[in-house]
Amino acid sequence: MVMERQETKGAAAFNLAESGLGDRPDLDDDGREKRTGTLVTASAHIITAVIGSGVLSLAWAISQLGWVIGPAVLVAFSVITWFCSSLLADCYRSPDAVHGKRNYTYGQAVRANLGVAKYRLCSVAQYVNLVGVTVGYTITTAISMGAIKRSNCFHRNGHDAACLASDTTNMIIFAAIQIILSQLPNFHKIWWLSIVAAVMSLLYSTIGLGLSIAKIAGGAHAKTTLTGVTVGVDVSSSEKIWRTFQSLGDIAFAYSYSNVLIEIQMYMSQAKVRRFSPTWTWMNVLSLACLVVSLLAAAGSIQGLIKSVAHYKPFSVQN
């Protein structure tokens, strides 16, 4: 219902623009509040989306895949991200890519090009994805907060000290902060938030680089291979497969800019791409490849989750 009201509001704004009120200096050409974004703020948004916390797992992913497949997968996903981003401009307006009505949300683009039924299906998928991402970030944040607390404890009392931290308490703290922030009106208009987020995103990469330099400077040179961890030495054959799946998922997650792009299907419908044409074939192959990677990543994640949960005890301190 909320999304439908937003859709209705968007349509009303567009009709307002058509009536001539869109010429007001404080309104955009579709009757909405005039956008004031700049190159700096747009760049901050893109950096924040591209360089997310997923980059912290790239080192582990490359170590699993090796120096041949690892960089190849990185390049492949970067090309896919670049290609998909080029489709965004053509799906921003509907039905015409230049003069059509603006689609301010993912759901609006789906509804305008694929119809109400697929819009509702997309909404369900969006909410499921949102819940999954929220759960993932909550758990990851709690574990990270606990790791920082234990690290400080070890530095103060030595590595033989019994340094414990409650992940459950950290989850509650993080969730409470999120609930409070979600109540702030016009949260999306806090311009400096994007700058802060961009700085934090760059810090992710800086942390990873700093830890790598510290590892090398410490004289402990880890063994690297062209094919990643060695079966029979580092891991079993089955564990190698599961880790490969997880690595593909980690690399795909690191290119999180795809979360703010209109997908390939929203484009083929608007552009009326002819079935079985070279463009239609290429885009469907790309969609299928992304689906396969998603399924493999999901399988690896589920296996890792089951393995981790087997040793996890909720509402208890972790050492």
- For residue 101, the surrounding DSSP H or E stretch is strand 101-102
Assign 64 to helix, strand or coil. Answer: helix
Q: Do the Cβ atoms of 35 and 184 come closer than 8 Å?
A: no
What per-residue confidence (pLDDT) applies to 78? Answer: 84
To the nearest 10°, report the CA torsion of 174, 179, 183, 187.
Answer: 40
pLDDT in tens, 236-277: 888 888 889 888 888 877 776 555 556 677 678 878 888 888
* pLDDT above 90 as % of the chain: 3
The answer to whether the beta carbons of residues 260 and 49 sit under 8 Å apart is yes
State residue 104's pLDDT score. Answer: 82
DSSP per position, 213-259: HHHHHTT------TTSSPBTTTB-HHHHHHHHHHHHHHHHHH-GGGG
| Confidence category of residue 9, pLDDT binned at 50, 70, 90 | very low
Q: Identify the CA nearest to 89 among candidates 63, 109, 115, 69.
A: 109
40: amino acid identity, one letter: V
Residues in Cβ contact with 179 at an 8 Å cutoff, skipping those fewer than 6 apart: none
pLDDT in tens, 16-55: 444 555 457 777 777 777 777 778 777 777 777 777 667 7
Which pLDDT does position 258 carry in this prediction? 54
Per residue in 55-72, pLDDT tens?
778 888 888 999 899 999
Mean pLDDT of the 77-85 span = 82
- The pLDDT score that the predictor gives to residue 2 is 42
Bridge partners of 102, per DSSP, are: 93
* Terminal-to-terminal C-alpha distance of the chain: 46
Structure tokens at 263: 């997908």
Look at residue 130 and tell me whether its pLDDT is greater than 70: yes
Is residue 146 pLDDT above 50, yes or no? yes
Instruction: Give the model confidence (pLDDT) of 172-208 as tens digits.
Output: 988 898 888 888 887 777 777 777 877 887 787 788 7
Predicted confidence band of residue 3 (pLDDT cuts 50, 70, 90): very low
Tally DSSP H helices, then E strands, for the chain.
Answer: 10, 4
The number of angstroms, rounded, from the C-alpha of 140 to the middle of its chain's C-alpha atoms is: 14
φ/ψ (deg, to 5) at 235? -145, 165
* pLDDT score for 314: 58
Average pLDDT on 306-316 reads 64
Q: What is the mean pLDDT of the chain?
A: 78
Q: How far apart are CA 151 and CA 144, in angstroms?
A: 10
| CA proximity to 257, closest of 40, 48, 37 | 48
Whether the full predicted model's pTM is greater than 0.85, yes or no, is no
Average pLDDT estimate for 82-96: 78
Residue 5 has pLDDT above 50, yes or no: no
